[in-house]
Chains A and B, each alone.
Chain A
Amino acid sequence: MIGALWRLQWKSARVWILAGAFAAGLLPVVSVSQSWPSGERELAQFLAQLDVWSLFYPALAVGLGLIMAAVVGRDDRRGAFVYAYTLPIDRRRYAAMRLLVGLLALIGVGVALWVAALATVAVAPVPATLSAYPGLLAIKFTLLALIAFALGAAIAGIPAAGRRWLARGVALALAAQAVLLLLGLEVNFVRPVAEALVSRYGPFGLVAGRWMLIDV
Chain B
Amino acid sequence: MNPSSLFPYNPAQPQLMHIDLNSCFAMIEQQANPFLRHRPVAITNRLTPGATVIAASYEAKAKGIDVGTRANEAKLLEPSVVVLETDPPKYIYAHRVFSEIIGSYSNDVAMKSVDEGIINFSHSRQLHPQPLTEVAAQIKQRFKDTLGEYVTCNIGIAPNRFLAKLAAGLHKPDGLDVIAAHNLEATYRQLPLLKLPGINRRFKARLAAYGITNCLEFLAAPESLLRRQVFKSINGHLWFMRLRGWEVDDYPTAIRSIGKQYVLHQPTASTQQLEVILTKMCEMLGRRLRGKGLSAGGLWVGCYLKDHSSWATRQKFKTRLYSTQSLFGAARHLLAQRPAEAVVQTLSITSYALEPAKSLQVSLFEATEPAHSRLADIIDHVNDRYGEFCVMPASMANTQHLVPDKIPFGSTRYFHKSSLAA
Answer yes or no: do A and B interact. Answer: no
Taking Cβ atoms with an 8 Å cutoff, the residues of A that contact B are: none
